[in-house]
Structure 1
């Protein structure tokens, strides 16, 4: 069994697509009209045949209270691996990305947390020596 898709709830699919491609560097994978929304996915350029992220509309009534609670507590919704957290932090900061947590070394892992502009906090992380 392997992970083929994971969903991230987004307030605006167009804004999410722009952020995930232009700022985070993901590649578009699927864009299929489905009524008022789209089946919209992005994929890592490092694994173009790998796991796709579904930029899922956040219309379901359960999404807002869930996201409001975890964002209020500063909890990232998911984590993306990077080689060098400080370098990625510096690159994204220069592009205007807002961070809620600067790079922080926590034992063998370094993390930083960013605001994806469409309702989520996202962690970037790197393991020491990885």
Structure 2
């Protein structure tokens, strides 16, 4: 059986991303190793399965810059996270100053919202309804 172990998000600033993804979104730090020129930084769901991690990857390569720029210009999120109560999460995050590009919106069997992660990406939150 194959499982998802890690996926990555290119970020403009790894330490700023780590603060946003942990302090604001509520993930926990799984790995934070200084590699000199960058760091190997992963986060995961607090108290969640230890086998799924999000790598906060430096986005300073030409490929990463082209990819993230194209996604932002199109208004597309780079990743989607699920939540149990999207409207409550929207209120909590808005109260913390998070900027949303799309408020909670029904889209068929899901409710979605899109936020700016402050490090170069749009992130979608989803809730099955």
Could you tell me the TM-score, scaled by structure 2's length? 0.96
**Which residue is 2:80 aligned to?**
79
**Separation (CA, whole Å) in 2 of partners of 1:93 and 1:20:** 15
Within a 5 Å distance, the mapping from 1:116-127 to structure 2 comes to: 116-127=117-128
**How far is the alpha carbon of 1:48 from its aligned partner?**
4.5
User: Runs ≥4 in structure 1, deviation > 2 angstroms?
Assistant: none
Mean Cα deviation higher: 118-127 or 50-59: 50-59
- 1:9-68 alpha-carbon deviations (Å, 9 max, x no partner): 000011000000010000010011112111101110141513111000002111112211
Matches of 1:17 and 1:70, distance apart in 2: 21
Q: How many residues align?
A: 128
CA separation in 2, counterparts of 1:98 and 1:31?
A: 26
Q: Name the CA distance, whole Å, in 2 between partners of 1:24 and 1:84.
A: 14
- Cα root mean square deviation, aligned: 0.9
Counterpart mapping for 1:47-126 below 5 A: 47-126=48-127
Paired residues of 1:111 and 1:124 also in contact (CA < 8 A): yes
Q: Which runs of 5+ in 2 are unaligned?
A: none
Partner Cα separation in structure 2 for residue 52 and residue 106 of structure 1: 27
- Residue 15 of structure 2: aligned partner: 14
TM-score (structure 1 length as normaliser)? 0.95
Give the whole-Å Cα distance in 1 for the aligned partners of 2:76 and 2:87. 20
